Structure formats: C-alpha cells, structure tokens
Amino acid sequence: MLKYARLTGWGKYLPENVVTNKDLEEKVNTLDTWIQTRTGIKERRLAADDEAASGMAVKAAQDALRVAGLRSEQLDLVIVATVTPEMIFPSCASLVQHAIGAKNAAAFDLNAACTGFVYAAATASQFIGTGMYKKILVVGSEVYSRILDWSDRDTCVLFGDGAGAVVLEAGSKPPGFLSFVLGSNGARPELLNLLGLCGNPNDPDKNRHYITMNGSEIYKFAVRTMAKASKQVLSKAGLTIDDLKLVIPHQANKRIIQAVAKSLGVQNDKVFMNVEKYGNTSAASVPIALCEAAEEGRLDANDYVALVGFGAGLSWGAAVLQWGSG
C-alpha cells in the first residue's frame, strides 16, 4: 500500500553576518533604492569564512529532527539539495549524515539549482511511497556568496546564504504531500549557469567560477512557469486555488512573486515572502520560508499549502502539502 510522506519536522539556519543594501553601495556600483525597487531585497546573510554548505545543513537538520522528535539514527536517508557543496565528492549529504550521527542512513546530493528542494522532496516522497524508506531528512543548503562576481551588480545583490531542512515520515493517510509537478527545459543553459568547475569546453575562461544570468529572460520564464506549475499541481491534487491557505514560492524576486500571485488570482497576504531579509538562497529558499511560516503560526493542521520554484536547467517544480499537526 502506498504511503503518504508526512512532514513532521522543520528547521532553518541563517548565518549571523547581515549585509544590507547600504553595505553593498560601498563595494558595488549600485543603490539601495535600485535594489529594492527591482527585487524587493533589503538585506541578505553571508556565510562566515569558516562556514560551508554542510555545516549550515547540519544546524538546520538538527532543528528539524528536534521538532520531529526523532533521533538521527532513526533516519533511513539524507538528501541534500545544493549546487554549492564544499567538495564535489564526497557528497554534502554524506558529510551531513556523519555529522548528525545518522549512522543507518544512505545519503546523496541532488542538483536542480533553485528548484532543488522541491525535487528533493518529490524524490523523498517516492522512496516513502514505495515503502523502501520510512524516515527521510531533506535539506536545502547554499553558500552562493562563494560563486558570485562581486563586481557584477546584476547578480551579486540578489543572493544570500542559508539552509532549511524538513523531516518526512511515512503515514498511511493524509496529511502529507499530495502531488508534485516537476519539469526541465535544457535548451537554453546560457540563461542561468555557472561554468568552469570541471574545465567546461565551452568556457573560454577556465578560471571563471561565478554565476551568469540573463535577468529579463529568467523573469519571464519564472512568472510563466511558476503560475502554470502551480495550477497543474493543484489539479493533480484535486484542489483549486481557493483551497490553499498559503502559497510559498521560491524567494528570488518580489516582483516575480507578485506577478505569479496576480496570474493565479491570489491576494498578496496569501503568499509568503521573506525575500527582503534573505535574498535568493536558491535550494534553501523554500524550506527556510516554510519553516518561518510554521514558526509564525501561518499554518494550522490540515491546511493546504503550495510550494513552487524555478531555477537553472531551466527547471521548475511545485508541490501541494497538507499540513499536519507536527
């Protein structure tokens, strides 16, 4: 019998170092008003020199396990969604698995860029649905500050560092994840990418290890794709937009989020946003926002919440979750 993946624990970690738009004015040819008008971002967190994706993931994971009331050795699997691990191998997930003492768990990383957490949650749900595993830790953790060109005001102002984690456990009936929609179109990799890490033959500068992005094209793709994916995932769950208590989108840009809300016919107060505090934390964005929504009491037992994201690939994903009582 197929089982539901119930979300029983959640946690987050944000570095202590707060970098405001005013701080960036001293380093980059930019203005606080320009950043806020175009993105809605006021500040972001940047990892300390001795912090890495695995360490931040561990802190978020420990919080999630505490909320779930689980011991780490009870976990069957650890999945970390990241594109900024401190090592190509071993996986960030393996480092997290060891650090938290999850000695009975398998572990692997997943790369779907900013859509990574939704992809990872879908993957974990399939393991639970087949009965292979019962308790899974899913983490999104990113240190984008290490792959930014700090002279490029079009990209460096957008991103921040952080980690978010959830625990999924098998249940015979809802609440839990009800549906997923995942997608990818690899026809335009040049729109958002990071070249050079492994000597990409298309990269004329072998030492270029930073993000490049076509902002206008990504904006159009994000608005169109997140609205469409949200409608599709609701239809799969047998729900309508009116059934939702909350929409938690990828926190990339306030204008994108507001445009998606308008396309869906959703009031802004039904859409969770924290982009002004953290910027775009990529795969950590959705779980951090989900954790904050829970902490703020925005979700009650049996509420329906939609999670939706987009990212490099170009990738997209959406999920419908019925919130449990913890």
Instruction: Give catalytic status of residue 114 as yes or no.
Output: yes
Q: Which of 92, 114, 156, 291 is catalytic?
A: 114
Q: How far is the C-alpha of 89 from the C-alpha of 184, rounded, in Å?
A: 25
- The packing angle between helices 254-264 and 32-39, to 10°, is 20
The residue among 262, 321, 295, 72 whose CA lies nearest residue 164 is: 295
Beta bridge partners of residue 309, listed in sequence order: 317
Contact of 181 with 318, CB cutoff 8 Å: yes
Distance of CA 298 to the CA centre of its chain: 19
In one-letter notation, the amino acid at residue 184 is: S
Q: How far is CA 259 from CA 140, 152, 184, 240, 268, in A?
A: 25, 25, 21, 19, 10
Quickly list DSSP for 52-76: -HHHHHHHHHHHHHHHHT--GGG-S
Q: Which of 21, 193, 250, 253 is catalytic?
A: 250
Instruction: Give catalytic status of residue 280 as yes or no.
Output: yes
Instruction: Give catalytic status of residue 209 as yes or no.
Output: no
As given in the structure block, the two tokens for residue 164 are: 């978010």
Q: Could you tell me which residues come within 8 angstroms of residue 316 by beta carbon, excluding any fewer than 6 positions away?
A: 115, 181, 182, 183, 184, 225, 226, 229, 308, 309, 310
Q: Which of 21, 193, 253, 280 is catalytic?
A: 280
Contact of 166 with 287, CB cutoff 8 Å: yes
Contact of 72 with 65, CB cutoff 8 Å: yes
**CB-hemisphere CA count at 13 Å for 308?**
26
Q: How far apart are the first and last CA of the chain?
A: 23
Q: How far is the C-alpha of 82 from the C-alpha of 92, rounded, in Å?
A: 8
| DSSP structural state of residue 88 | S
| DSSP structural state of residue 267 | -
Which positions are catalytic? Answer: 114, 250, 280
